[in-house]
Structure 1
Amino acid sequence: MDTDDAATLATHEQELRRGTIVLASLAACRTPRYGYALLSTLADAGFQIEANTLYPLLRRLEKQGLLKAEWNTDEARPRKYYTLTDLGSQMADSLRDEWAALTRSLTTLWKDDPA
């Protein structure tokens, strides 16, 4: 694969990841998580995301009513924990169902293609 092809592949891979990180973040926030722990949880699951990408996403999801954020000041270091709202849980379920449907469709396409 030449340099141009590698760059094209990298662009498409980034687009795929960008589309899945919302669902992955919602899934991970079914239990309360603070930002750094969420980064670690996502990384452990195979989702590499930078903090400067995750934090704006979390704020956007909170603004959309999908996450709620609460500060925990009981520990020496205050942390902002993110948890799914009821709407966020419904949205995560719907997105998961859509992801499963897309996976089935792609699997069908791969099976039907003789290449």
Structure 2
Amino acid sequence: MATEDIALGQAQELRRGTVVLACLALLRKPQYGYALLETLNDAGVTVDGNTLYPLLRRLEKQGLLTSEWNTDESRPRKFYRVSPEGSRVRTSLVREWQDLVTSISRLTKENG
């Protein structure tokens, strides 16, 4: 396997865990799935619908998101929003993320 392929796979693993944090950060305001998908991709957090929609359902089942259907338009849409518990988890994950960035920055400078 080429180095480039290995690096690409490892980068994908690194990004996978960030999608939860990104969703919890973005869903302070209600959004429906497709709009969230576009916002994430535009921000450089690459994710596809086959990954995002199951993740949203899992986060809702865990109590981190709430959802409701908007049937005002011709096509019903399910809107997601962070729950109070999701806000607490987001705060904790942001702190963890910042600690990791600090640690990895220190390691890469020391061993650079």
Matched residue, 2:22: 24
Give, in whole Å, the separation in 2 of the partners of 1:52 and 1:110.
34
Counterparts of residues 36-115 of structure 1 (less than 5 Å): 36-113=34-111, 115=112
State the shift of 1:97 in Å: 0.6
Gaps of 5+ in 2: none
1:6 aligns with 2:4: yes
- CA-CA distance at 1:34 after TM superposition: 0.1
Q: Distance in 1 between matches of 2:105 and 2:50?
A: 34
RMSD of aligned C-alpha atoms?
A: 1.0
SS at match of 1:81: strand
C-alpha separation in 2, matches of 1:34 and 1:111: 41
Q: Deviations over 1:25-67 (max 9, x none)?
A: 1111111000010001101211111011100000000000000
Q: Distance in 2 between matches of 1:27 and 1:41?
A: 12
Provide TM-score, normalisation by structure 2.
Answer: 0.95
**CA offset at residue 74 of structure 1?**
1.1
Q: Count the aligned residue pairs.
A: 112
- Identity %, equivalent residues: 55
